[in-house]
Amino acid sequence: MTPRRINPPHYFLVALIAMALLRLVPAEPLLAGVWPWLGALPIVVGIAVAVWASQQFARAGTSIVPLTPSSALVTDGAFAFSRNPMYLGMVLALIGLAWLLNRPWPWLVPPLFVVVLTLRFIRHEEKLMEATFGDAYRAYRARVRRFI
């Protein structure tokens, strides 16, 4: 497989910008008072999960770049509860931002981001992992969900 020139962090940045722009579309706030500030929690958790998972890749000495050959099948730590914890972290951060922005339109972005990740990266990464690690990856895939 050929690595993409535009990778998930680029899509994440576009998603952040889109959400900020969608916040400008007139709409009533969804929550009153301090409730929107609870959106900070999934942002912090999302960043922590993504950083934790990327550190695990670094310790294992395998590539973090999507659709490049992997030298190790990482199945512990963050990867014990999600096959895609870095992507999960990005999605959690987008959900937190939608919550913070407190308008309905930004909520359109996180599900669209998941669809883009799945179609452009995850499907192909899973095929590559199966071709590289065979039965070990199939067993891992059977016991750990794609996101959570």
Mean residue pLDDT across the chain: 96
User: What does the pLDDT read at residue 141?
Assistant: 98
Domain residue ranges in the chain: 54-61+73-148
Using the CB atoms, write b or e for 27-55: b if 16+ within 10 Å.
eeeeeeeeebeebeebbebbeebbeebee
At 24-79, the pLDDT tens digits run 999 999 999 999 999 999 999 999 999 999 999 999 999 999 999 899 999 999 99
Tell me if 13 sits within 8 A of 67, measured CB to CB. Answer: no
For 114, the enclosing helix (H) or strand (E) is helix 109-117
pTM of the model: 0.94
At 7-31, the pLDDT tens digits run 999 999 999 999 999 999 999 999 9
User: What does the pLDDT read at residue 3?
Assistant: 74
Residues 6+ apart with CB under 8 A from 94: 12, 15, 16, 19, 46, 109, 110, 113
122 has pLDDT over 90: yes
2 has pLDDT over 80: no
